[in-house]
Amino acid sequence: MATQDFDVVVAGCGVAGLSSAVAAAQAGARVALVERASREERGGQSRYTEAYLRMKSHREVTDDFETHLAENGSGSVDPEMVEDAVASASQRSPLTRALSIADPGIIGRLANSAGGTIEWLEGMGVRFEFLPTQFLTKSQPRLLPVGGGQALVEALAARAESMGVQFFYETAATALELDDGGQVTGLRVRVRGKGQTRLRGEVVLACGGFEGNAEMLTRYVGPRSVYLRPICKGGYYNRGEGIRMALDVGAAACGDFGSYHAEPVDPRSGIAEPSVFIFPYGILVNLDGKRFTDEAPGTVDAWYERITRRIYEQRGGTAWVVLDARHQRVPNYRLGIRTDKPPVTGSTIAALAEKIGVPAPALEATVREYNAACVAGEWRPLEVDGLATRCLEPPKSNWATPIEEGPFHAYPIISANVFTFGGLKIDESARVLNGDGDPIPGLYAAGETAGLYYGNYTGATSVLKGLVFGRIAGGVAAARRRRNVA
């Protein structure tokens, strides 16, 4: 098998992998970057995302940033182990260091490094602004790179190319190389149409989760995962090899392997992220024509994931949002509808039911019951208005107005899999930890390959997590290589 020598080998060409490659090159390392896609399709899911960042300014994260991540940072854990986890790393037991929770140190490092990472990217020509989002109501601000994730990918890739990073396109990572002492010495890869080769050096795994791997989805998320699909084409490239190969050499796991980041999308559309966020202004019904959840517990940015999970639970993993003409009077309502497919329309509820394949008597009864539970009050569509139903199960907590003004509109909704939660346990230096909570020498992880989330996703943090820990991983890997070579 042919071998090539580098200082740092990075798997993945999304923002996490590119940040690693650039940071390592800036530290003087010879860097290889492995990407399954072609050059034209490089960037994975990062290429397609708008890259929302949960920041209140260009240098500061939001006030709830660390609290929200901590609240969604574990499953059910022994309280004594949770108490041990807040101690300094040197004082924790090996069991706790390897525990599958979001360590407070990781959350703190992410929050404290965000502003410096944005400044680093601005130095490469990326501009950031508080631009309009798809959320008509929101609880937290979102900073965006002008041009979205593609602007991040292109700026980072251009900097990497200018610094001599060697890109290996149409090349998939297949296994880690280890020496007799258990130190990672390189990465085995498969070049499309040319077979296997070996790239030696420190290894950074930044090749995403497993949303593009049906077998892993069924194993971890369950058989209903057949109703999921990646949020964009880039997700199909994420097959979980980085996670698998690290687990195979004893890496500790972190993140909720049975869950994923859910987003409501139109299954008829083939564009990237054809989201439908207009449902708070109507009712959600399943294929039997029945409501099954509160459509508007609060701002859509804070609640859409939990509501989308309820849609996923329905027969066929599908629901319809039914709206009357009032939704078209919500200011800038089209921002909440990203699908390129038109709504299904009907002059009556019965006519609409026939078009969407829902039993007309059931849908008419559902709408009648809902309308009867609506009460008079001021409808304020761009703020949480408390206009709630009475004596209805499930309730609707806000924006509850009768569905009575034609024409009636409907959009189908399924749950998209934006990314999977399960991944590898890392420390504050992005080093992958083993089952005793000790770093595996020569191995690092960033992006969705490094697990963090449980239960409910903390919105607008995943791209930031990839950028921050990708940058950290590249710098730490290059420094370790220099020490070992010196």
Weakest-pLDDT range from 100-104, 287-291, 425-429: 100-104
Answer yes or no: are the C-beta atoms of 54 and 61 closer than 8 Å.
Answer: yes
Question: What is the reported pLDDT for 79?
Answer: 80
Distance (Å, rounded) from C-alpha 285 to C-alpha 449?
A: 35
Total Cβ atoms within 10 A of residue 116: 12
* Mean pLDDT estimate for the chain: 96
Supply the pLDDT for residue 486: 60
Q: What is the pLDDT of residue 127?
A: 98
* Phi, psi values for residue 275, rounded to 5°: -70, 155
Closest CA to 263 of 406, 416, 146, 110: 416
> How confident is the model over 232-277, as pLDDT tens digits?
999 999 999 999 999 999 999 999 999 999 999 999 999 999 999 9
Is residue 471's pLDDT more than 80?
yes
Q: Is 289 left (phi over 0), alpha (psi -120 to 50) or beta?
A: left
Query: Phi and psi at residue 51, in whole multiples of 5°?
Result: 65, 55
pLDDT in the model for residue 200 = 98
* 156 contacts: CB under 8 Å, gap ≥ 6: 15, 18, 19, 21, 22, 121, 124
C-beta of residue 238 within 8 angstroms of C-beta of residue 246: no
Instruction: Supply 362's token pair.
Output: 């059931």
pLDDT at res. 242: 98
For the cut 80, the answer to whether the pLDDT of residue 104 exceeds it is yes
Nearest one of 470, 467, 479 to 117, comparing CA atoms: 467
pLDDT score of 81 more than 80: no
Domains of the chain: 2-259+421-485 (3.50.50.60), 262-416 (3.90.700.10)
Instruction: Show the tokens assigned to 436.
Output: 């005793």
Q: In this predicted structure, which of 269-273, 332-336, 453-457, 482-486 has the lowest mean pLDDT?
A: 482-486
> What is the per-residue pLDDT for 464?
98
**pTM score of the predicted model:** 0.96
For 188, residues 6+ apart whose C-beta sits below 8 A from its C-beta are 1, 173, 174, 175, 176, 177, 196, 197, 198, 199
